[in-house]
Structure 1
């Protein structure tokens, strides 16, 4: 009998470890126990099975495997322990969303023990429970409903969709529960180095948390490092009368069991537009109030074009309009009505009202002043590119910090914060950060807009290619939108991309990698792109810097 310790790279979840065990433990005389958080496996073999053949079986599943000697096996944990006076490092994390879990897993992998603190009944944070996942399910359902009565193909009969909101909601909830279990609850249960404490956490001082729990109980938690990953919540504007009405935030809009006949939406950014279009396509009459214009902080051509598209679908959009006062009258035999008086003198009446005016950070109840942690004027925790606050052992990641509010930024920040808390050195680079909005067409951006570049005294050159010049868009009979590229004039390097297209979210990563690798527009135009794909639009737009693409044949390189 022999025993070997293996280092296994490439695992992404506990199921990966289970898959390796399942594959090898069916072999006679072979037993392997794999620890996903540590990235290690202990292999015990009775008989003459060769180590090389077993490693090959693991590598067949796409992992990288190396044999460890005893010194290597103990290096990470012993180093961390020595740096902490021989004690296992204790990391306390406030929150259980993507940033919190990413940080917890990496901290445990690096030898720490972790305590998670969560104030809500369920774990997982915004994205899986009340954000990204349920909203994309609803948006997809609305897309299918829209296609049934609005498509471009002559030989397919159009008809009004029959929508059962209860069935849609049940399916949505089931998928949310499934993903929460797979990506959060099961990971927590399978990892003995991560414990969960329920309650509201607040700092007693820079080294101690008080967790207020049910029935007046509380727990004190002392730790060596702290990661604040408490996310953000819907902003409620101080409109007279609003607080006394049963308005929705995005949470209630995603969980509504009945589709209202009419809906007013206050807001004009990503959440507002995604949900407004989804309800419109599910049969609700939608009126949207925009304080400025749509997507005011993006390239103006995106907002202008999307405004036309949404109005053509039937949405009423009131630019430069705010609610002055709001009231609600209960109905005797039916649902009540909202009355909205606007700054433009209109009186709007609707069955339901959605407030989607931003998401401020959840920091107000944390007692950060007692720990000495600095926040900006909006209540966001100020961090550097290593996720460090001004207090050396306190870190923050995700929507509660001054970083962009995207779940993938939160996860990346949580991982890097954990590396830094356990003695490593990892920075986050947001210079080529993609952003996507899942309206139809989708909006996707990366890098600088033309205006932002000029504000930074960068001389630019730009091109905008309407989708009518992209063969796949023509084949789909869907040419609404465009691709816009921004380059630095002197170096010819790509520095920004703005896309409005049905598959913009799938296209944008090409521009992300081009910017990250400092490609010139000629480099990009010279790459091979598969024909009759939407992403070919990026190549075609790149080619317009030097030629007229209308004069090119199909697939012209």
Structure 2
């Protein structure tokens, strides 16, 4: 069955044409097919997008492996337990990671596309036609081309690692978060440029596998989160032998002819220049939307300074028939954001739902160990919006689960409106802190106050109990509470 674009009465081949095949693309395609719409998906590379192929899945798989080795090497705090860990066979570790990636890609992407029955094509896509009548030109690997017309289009092409314009960087063999996942030997030494989520995860990953790691951060670690989180993570890194240099501005990069090592010159907080040397450099300075080659201007789609597609809070672009989802919008770079975008876009395009993006209670997690997680506003953000805040920071030494784990590195922080005591933000540095962030979503969505949370049921000897204890800290000296009868 052919569908018709009501705006110009031209026959359309599909109701929805999706460029990309990641989380946002699949969420949109699944929802659209469930509505009976005819869907085309075009992917120029591996099916599944960055998350399954080069991002979330491979990095977390390797982080879990590195954590297992770290635990085996550090069991002195558990009396009576003795373990050991030998060297790492990096090639075998990477092969295992790749097998996991391929299995998930097949089960959760390729087979799902076949199950739902949309048209999946490999090739490069670019827009053509006019703003009023956009079409999609698809070029296959063999050079063959064809054009399709759809009632609506979704661009979900994601983002890619950004390489800053540092003199000398293009001349060295640097790594990115993508290529680092393919190394078959553990670097003896590694310098990481950046202090964000990807940088801190990669730093701990390689340090725990045996690399001598130095992190050069332009500001502080996880600079958008609470300063307590940065300090706690820096302390963890120091304990694990990871060198962190804050407020480091790299000026030049080159290669030492005698040793073959990469040499970086950076201005450090003292005001002087310092040189850093390592076998490898990993650039984790952020990501940029992938829009090059899509010919968006030809069909009236506006983009921003970083190449992102500018969208309304409904996810419609400046062309009402062309939508965008996920990293390509420049919005928060989490796969669950992309998936939410994909579903929302379909509801807005085909059901006139007029749904809007709302990030007020968006959870954020850095999968270090202990993890760093947050939901809602930081103390600073709340104050900037005019909220007079009252905060409590609960060290993990007051959380029974952390005591049993014999790891009290970290804290739980609650940010509340001083007038209403309504909780507006929760941050945690703790084992499985991501689960605390999920609980925080429900607390913030419900508009709960610290008094309500302080009096909720909470299972004993769980890390989530720490949220309740942190809420109790508003009215109680928690150091005087019995651990079993708080």
Q: TM-score, normalised by structure 1?
A: 0.82
Q: Counterpart of 1:422 in 2: which secondary structure?
A: helix
Residue 382 of structure 1: which of 310, 320, 332 is its match? 310
Gapped regions of structure 2 (runs ≥ 5): none
Which of 199-208 and 358-367 deviates more?
Answer: 199-208
Q: CA distance change for structure 1 residues 219 and 531 in 2, over 3 Å: closer, same or farther? A: same
CA distance in 1, matches of 2:383, 2:266: 35
1:391 aligns with 2:316: no
1:525-555 Cα offsets, whole Å, 9 max, x none, are 1110000011100000011111111111223
Aligned residues of 2:13 and 2:150 also touching (Cα < 8 A): no
Q: Paired residue for 1:540?
A: 469
Match runs of 1:315-354 below 5 Å: 315-328=242-255, 336-344=260-268, 345-354=273-282
The equivalent of 1:46 in structure 2 is none
Write the distance in 2 (CA, Å) between the matches of 1:365 and 1:87: 23
Asked if the contact 1:463–1:485 (Cα under 8 Å) also holds between the matched residues in 2, the reply is: yes
CA distance in 1, matches of 2:256, 2:87: 30
Per the alignment, do residues 88 and 367 of structure 1 end up closer, same or farther by CA in structure 2, a change over 3 Å counting? closer
CA contact (8 A) 2:12 2:150 kept: no
**1:362-441 matches, cutoff 5 A:** 362-425=290-353, 426-441=355-370
- Which of structures 1 and 2 has the larger relative contact order (alpha carbons within 8 angstroms, sep 6+)? 2
Q: 1:339 to 1:109 in 2, by over 3 A?
A: same
What is the CA deviation profile of residues 295-350 of structure 1, one whole-angstrom value per residue up to 9, with x for unaligned ones? 1121111111211210111011111112211123578xxx9421112224222221
Structure 2 partner of 1:43: none
Q: What CA distance in whole angstroms lies between the structure 2 residues aligned with 1:98 and 1:472?
A: 34
For 1:346, what is the secondary structure of its paired residue?
strand
CA distance in 1, matches of 2:56, 2:380: 29
Tell whether the 8 Å contact from 2:12 to 2:151 is kept in structure 1 after alignment: no
231, 239, 243: which one aligns with 1:312:
239
Shift of 1:524: 0.9
- Residues 495-510 of structure 1 mapped to structure 2, 5 A cutoff: 495-510=424-439
In 1, distance between residues paired with 2:484 and 2:303?
Answer: 52
Establish whether residue 172 from structure 1 lines up as the match of residue 97 from structure 2: yes
How far is 1:287 from its partner?
0.8
Q: 2-side partners of 1:529 and 1:158: how far apart? A: 34
The CA distance in 1 between the partners of 2:103 and 2:282, in whole Å, is 27
Q: State the number of aligned residues.
A: 475
Equivalences for residues 72-91 of structure 1 within 5 A: 90-91=15-16
Query: How many angstroms apart in 2 are the aligned matches of 1:549 and 1:444?
Result: 23
Match of 2:33 among 108, 118, 122: 108
Q: What is the TM-score of this pair, normalised by structure 2?
A: 0.94
Contact 1:247 1:354 in 2 (8 A): yes
Instruction: Work out whether 1:252 is the aligned partner of 2:170.
Output: no
Structure 2 distance, partners of 1:87, 1:290, is 50
1:189 is paired with a residue of what secondary structure? helix
Tell me the alpha carbon deviations over residues 177-207 of structure 1, each in whole angstroms, 9 at most, x when there is no partner: 1000011110122233x11222221211331
Aligned equivalents of 2:287, 2:456: Cα separation in 1 = 40
Aligned CA-pair RMSD: 2.1
The CA distance in 1 between the partners of 2:249 and 2:318, in whole Å, is 38
Counterpart contact for 1:89–1:111, Cα < 8 Å: no
What CA distance in whole angstroms lies between the structure 2 residues aligned with 1:302 and 1:186?
A: 41
String of CA shifts for 1:415-474, please: whole Å, max 9, x gaps.
111122222413333211101000111000011111111111111110000000001101
- Alpha-carbon contact 1:433-1:447 (below 8 Å) kept: yes
Stretches of structure 1 that go unaligned for 5 or more consecutive residues are 1-76
- Are the equivalent residues in 2 in contact too, given 1:103–1:418 (CA < 8 A)? yes
1:116 alignment partner, SS class: strand
**Counterpart selection for 2:166 from 239, 262, 272:** 239
Do the aligned partners of 1:227 and 1:397 also contact (CA within 8 Å) in 2? yes
Q: Which residue does 1:220 correspond to in 2?
A: 147
Q: Distance in 1 between matches of 2:86 and 2:63?
A: 15
Aligned partners of 2:388 and 2:347: how far apart in 1? 38
Which residue of structure 1 aligns with residue 285 of structure 2? 357
Shift of 1:245: 1.3
Provide the C-alpha distance between the structure 2 equivalents of 1:161 and 1:497, rounded to a whole number of angstroms.
39
Aligned partners of 1:330, 1:397: CA distance in 2, in Å? 46
The aligned counterpart of 1:71 is: none
2:52 equivalent among 122, 125, 128: 128
Out of 249, 252, 264, the residue aligned to residue 191 of structure 2 is: 264
Q: Does 1:137 align with 2:61?
A: yes
Mapped contact 2:415–2:423 kept (Cα < 8 A): yes
Contact 1:543–1:549 (CA<8 Å) still a contact in 2? yes
Q: Secondary structure at the match of 1:403?
A: coil
CA deviations 1:343-399 (Å, max 9, x no partner) are 242222211110000011001221111111122222211222321112211111000
Whether the aligned pair in 2 keeps the contact of 1:110 and 1:419 (CA below 8 Å) is no
Establish whether residue 146 from structure 1 lines up as the match of residue 74 from structure 2.
no
Per the alignment, in what secondary structure is the counterpart of residue 158 of structure 2? coil
Q: Is the 1:199–1:214 Cα contact (8 Å) retained in structure 2?
A: yes
